[in-house]
């Protein structure tokens, strides 16, 4: 089943058009990656999916329902949850309070204990530091908290915007492992936005390449890995 579906989505900021007809879908229980270089329109695509930006043309479907005009906070209640670029934690709230607010919606609050246990088992470091202010965490810990907070919202589809950004290779591998684990053990559906093509293709089932606001390539992981475009432009081969 398609959890998310974008049909010829066009949008932009003010007068400037950024997306020129994006078609993309995310299959249930799969990890889909969206690859592209700086300024290609990856974050903008996620903003349309979360409702931080509305499409000028085209539509966004969630489980078959048109949500193009639904405001962000209501999409979260439906299960569309994003770990935003740059983490966007509340620095003056504690780790625990950040997680607590992650479970703000009624649906999420009912699963609070389960979710918290999952988050602490994935990231034991967060449990140790639960009373620390989020702003005082290291970059890696902040990324863990950002993912943890999103998991507290009980996502039907988890959108991740460059979770590897600014992290040491070892931490990147750890985060990728967690994402893979979430798919395998929690049956989570994931849309992962990355510039780190090598790492993200290792865990991906399906992928898209976006260039200047257009999808220029799509396919299964194996197809993408075999494609000349990916090899030349992103894997440096």
Partner 1 sequence: MDISLLIISSIYGLFWGAILGFAAVGLTLLWGVMKVVNLAQGEMIILGSYVAVIIFAMVYNPFAGAIVALLLGLFAGFLVYWALLHKLVGKVEKITLKIEMSTLLAMFSLSIALMNFYYFIFGDEPRGFGLWNIGISNIKLGAMTVRTNVLLADVLSIVSIVVVYLFLERTILGKSIRAVMQDAQAASLVGIDPVKIKMLTAVLGIGLTTFSGFMVLLYESAVTPDIAHKYAPLSFVIVVLGGLGSVIGALIGGLIIGLVYGLSKGIVTFYNAKMSDPVALAVVFVILIVILLVKPEGLFGRKR
Ligand X SMILES: Nc1ncnc2c1ncn2[C@@H]1O[C@H](COP(=O)(O)OP(=O)(O)OP(=O)(O)O)[C@@H](O)[C@H]1O
Rule CB under 5 A: which residues touch Mg ion? 43, 85
Rg of the chain's alpha carbons, rounded to an integer?
Answer: 17
Q: Which stretch binds partner 1 (CB under 8 A): 86-94, 191-199, 204-212, 219-227?
A: 86-94
User: Which is nearer to partner 1, 10 or 100 (by Cβ)?
Assistant: 100
In sequence order, what DSSP letters do the residues of 92-106 get, joined into one string? TSBHHHHHHHHT-SH
Question: 101: buried, middle or exposed (CB in 10 Å: 19+, 13-18, 0-12)?
Answer: middle
How many CB atoms are closer than 10 A to CB 228?
Answer: 8
- Contact string 177-206 vs ligand X (x = CB under 6 A): ------------------x-----------
* Contacts (CB under 6 A) with ligand X, residues 118-177: none
CA atoms of 47 and 37, how far apart (whole Å): 17
Task: Select the binding partner of residue 90 from Mg ion, ligand X, partner 1, none (C-beta < 5 to 8 A, by kind).
Answer: partner 1
| Shortest distance, position 225 Cβ to ligand X, whole Å | 21
Would you say 218 and 23 are in contact if contact means Cβ atoms under 8 Å apart?
no
Interface with partner 1, residue 100, by CB under 8 A = yes
Q: Which stretch binds partner 1 (CB under 8 A): 19-27, 88-96, 162-170, 187-195?
A: 88-96
Interface with partner 1, residue 120, by CB under 8 A = no
Interface with ligand X, residue 44, by CB under 6 A = yes
Axis-axis angle for helices 95-102, 139-152 (nearest 10): 30
Of 36, 102, 155, 163, the one binding ligand X by CB under 6 A: 36
CA atoms of 189 and 179, how far apart (whole Å): 10
Per residue, the 3-state secondary structure of 59-74, as one string, reads: EEEECCEECCCCCHHH
Of 66, 92, 128, 184, the one binding partner 1 by CB under 8 A: 92
| Shortest distance, position 43 Cβ to Mg ion, whole Å | 3
């Amino acid at each position: 089943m398609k959890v998310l579906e974008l049909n010829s989505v066009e949008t932009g900021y003010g007068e400037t058009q950024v997306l020129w007809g994006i078609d993309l879908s995310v299959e249930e229980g799969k990890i889909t990656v969206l690859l592209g270089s700086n300024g290609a329109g990856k974050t903008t695509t996620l903003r349309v999916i979360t409702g931080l930006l509305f499409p000028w043309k085209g539509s966004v479907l969630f489980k078959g329902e048109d949500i193009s005009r639904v405001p962000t906070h209501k999409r979260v209640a439906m299960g569309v949850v994003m770990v935003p670029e740059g983490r966007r934690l509340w620095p003056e709230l504690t780790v625990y309070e950040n997680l607590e607010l992650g479970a703000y919606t009624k649906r999420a609050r009912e699963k609070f204990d389960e979710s918290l246990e999952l988050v602490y088992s994935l990231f034991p470091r967060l449990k140790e530091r639960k009373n620390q202010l989020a702003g005082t965490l290291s970059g890696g810990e902040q990324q863990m908290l950002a993912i943890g907070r999103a998991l507290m919202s009980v996502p039907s589809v988890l959108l991740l915007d460059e979770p590897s950004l600014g992290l040491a290779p070892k931490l990147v591998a750890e985060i990728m492992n967690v994402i893979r684990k979430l798919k395998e053990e929690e049956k989570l559906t994931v849309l992962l936005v990355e510039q780190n093509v090598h790492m993200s293709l290792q865990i991906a089932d399906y992928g898209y390449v976006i260039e200047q606001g257009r999808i220029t390539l799509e396919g299964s992981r194996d197809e993408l890995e075999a494609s000349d475009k990916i090899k030349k432009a992103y894997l440096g081969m």
